[in-house]
């Protein structure tokens, strides 16, 4: 990927489980409503390529990335935390160090409200991660306010407009996932977001 | 009335003088990062200041790319103004040949020369603060057309990258 596709791509690094899906969808939709193409590890739809290769391809093929660390907490009977997201944030930070000028990688980290993150990933304290309460309605303003200030952007939909359209996006993507047995082609999902965003203008 | 000022680190002296000039006109103006101490979240500290402010004044200077702190200030300004558009007055000030970030073009901006005097700018701002607040600007027809074109490009880019 090069040129405009790279310059306007945002790799979204979030959990993929059903509980997180409403938040993931909200980030995908908000990204589209800001005029960026959302990307994620499952976009190619192929399981033949190892997940880590897909993630690396996504991060290296996108100028921007969004990393949600809100699930870095003990889960299940063994209270194990998932560390995929911090690992992938590390790749994005390395990518930033490798790039220069207008190709310099930039990233947004999302963490739970409060100062808890400073206990489990204190090195992030100097980067001012965006805090949200785990709901789609609180993540949308964080994503829009960050993307709206990128130099590629002239205008975006506003957070209220994104949130107003979000239930329709949820309905249509739910139907799309049902028809494709949970794995719809990524461009079709993005097209739903684009159609809805355009409908508001 | 409480006003917060956002400016590049190199222009803080000018902003302090502007704050003093606004104070003479009854506006309690201070830097958006005032009282934000090292060790705490800058964004959290700025958001705290923004909560108690009536006016958010973003000074954008030419030849000065936005610093990391200034970008955090703008993010906090935007989120507050989006959440309460009827009451939070966001006033971008374009100094010299500066280009406003796209997100800030949704508010009526003041445009002033590079060598503007703090007292003169304070007068202009005072007039704006006295006038009825009109809130955010609607997108013009041409801005809507541009945004529609950008959304169409997003479709094409999604096909290329997947």
- Cβ–Cβ below 8 Å for A197 and B151: yes
Q: What is the pLDDT of residue A115?
A: 63
Label residue B43 left, alpha or beta by phi (over 0 means left) and psi (-120 to 50 means alpha).
alpha
What's the token pair of residue B43?
A: 């964004």
> How far apart, in whole angstroms, are the C-alpha atoms of residue A84 and residue A74?
14
- Which residues of chain B from 77 to 116 reach within 8 Å of chain A, CB to CB? 78-79, 82-83, 101-103, 105-106
Per-residue confidence band for A2, with pLDDT thresholds at 50, 70 and 90? low
> How far apart, in whole angstroms, are the C-alpha atoms of residue A152 and residue A147?
9
Rounded to the nearest 5°, which phi and psi values hold at A135?
-100, 155
Residues of A in contact with B102 (CB under 8 A): 148-149, 153-156
CA A41-A129-A9 angle, 5° bins: 35
Neighbours of B66 (CB within 10 A): 18
Strands B55-61 and B2-6: parallel
The ipTM estimated for the assembled molecules is 0.91
Distance of CA A104 to the CA centre of its chain: 18
Produce one character per residue of B134-158: b if its CB has 16 or more CB atoms within 10 Å, e if not: ebeeebeeebeeebeebbebbbebb
Per-residue confidence band for A82, with pLDDT thresholds at 50, 70 and 90? confident
Q: What is the mean pLDDT of residues B39-45?
A: 74
- Cβ–Cβ below 8 Å for A4 and B151: no
Chain B CA closest to residue A54:
B162
Range with the poorest average pLDDT among A121-130, A145-154, B100-109, B122-131: A121-130
- A66 forms beta bridges with A12, A108
Q: Where are the alpha helices (DSSP H) in chain A?
A: 3-7, 21-33, 51-60, 84-98, 117-120, 136-147, 159-179, 186-199
- Cβ–Cβ below 8 Å for A151 and B43: no
- Cβ–Cβ below 8 Å for B103 and A145: yes
Residue A75 pLDDT > 90: no
Residues of A in contact with B83 (CB under 8 A): 141
Q: What is the pLDDT of residue B38?
A: 61
Interface test with A, best of B147, B148, B149, B152 (most A CBs within 10 A): B147
Residues B137-159: pLDDT tens digits?
999 999 999 999 999 999 999 98
Q: Are B54 and B73 contacting, i.e. CB atoms less than 8 angstroms apart? A: no
Q: How far is B24 from chain A (nearest CA, A)?
A: 33
Residue A120 pLDDT > 80: no
Q: What is the pLDDT of residue A101?
A: 86
> How far apart, in whole angstroms, are the C-alpha atoms of residue A12 and residue A20?
13
Q: What is the mean pLDDT of residues A25-53?
A: 89
Q: What is the pLDDT of residue B88?
A: 96
Q: Residues with Cβ < 8 Å from A81, sequence gap 6 or more? A: A71, A72, A73, A74, A75, A120
Percent of chain A with pLDDT over 70: 96
Task: Nearest by CB to A190, from B102, B147, B154: name it.
Answer: B154
Per-residue confidence band for A46, with pLDDT thresholds at 50, 70 and 90? low
> How far apart, in whole angstroms, are the C-alpha atoms of residue A147 and residue B91?
20
Three-state SS for A67?
A: strand
């Amino acid at each position: 990927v090069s040129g405009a596709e790279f310059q306007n791509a945002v790799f979204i690094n979030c959990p993929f489980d059903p509980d997180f899906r409403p938040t993931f969808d909200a980030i995908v939709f908000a990204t589209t409503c800001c005029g960026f193409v959302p990307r994620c590890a499952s976009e190619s739809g192929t399981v033949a390529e190892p997940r880590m290769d897909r993630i690396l391809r996504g991060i290296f093929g996108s100028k921007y990335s969004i990393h949600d660390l809100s699930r870095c907490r003990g889960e299940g009977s063994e209270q194990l935390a998932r560390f995929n997201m911090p690992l992938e944030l590390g790749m994005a930070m390395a990518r930033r160090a490798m790039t220069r000028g207008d190709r310099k990688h930039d990233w947004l980290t999302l963490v739970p409200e409060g100062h808890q993150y400073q206990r489990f990933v204190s090195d992030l304290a100097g980067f001012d991660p965006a805090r949200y309460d785990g709901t789609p309605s609180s993540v949308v303003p964080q994503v829009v306010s960050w993307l709206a200030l990128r130099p590629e952007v002239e205008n975006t939909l506003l957070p209220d407009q994104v949130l107003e359209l979000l239930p329709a996006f949820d309905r249509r993507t739910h139907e799309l996932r049902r028809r494709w047995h949970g794995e719809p082609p990524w461009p079709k999902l993005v097209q739903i977001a684009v159609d809805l965003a355009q409908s508001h203008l | 009335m409480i006003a917060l000022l956002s400016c590049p680190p190199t222009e803080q002296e000018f902003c302090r003088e502007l704050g003093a000039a606004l104070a003479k006109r009854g506006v309690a103006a201070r830097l958006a990062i005032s009282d934000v101490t090292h060790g705490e979240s800058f964004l959290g500290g700025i958001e705290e200041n923004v909560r108690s402010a009536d006016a958010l004044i973003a000074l954008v200077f030419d030849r000065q790319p936005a610093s990391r702190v200034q970008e955090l200030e703008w993010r906090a300004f935007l989120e507050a103004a989006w959440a309460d558009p009827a009451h939070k007055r966001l006033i971008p000030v374009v100094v010299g040949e500066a280009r406003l970030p796209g997100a800030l073009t949704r508010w009526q901006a003041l445009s002033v020369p590079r060598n503007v005097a703090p007292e003169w700018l304070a007068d202009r701002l005072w007039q704006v603060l006295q006038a009825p607040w009109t809130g955010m600007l609607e997108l013009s027809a041409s801005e809507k057309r541009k945004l529609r074109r950008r959304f169409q490009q997003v479709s094409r880019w999604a096909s290329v990258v997947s």
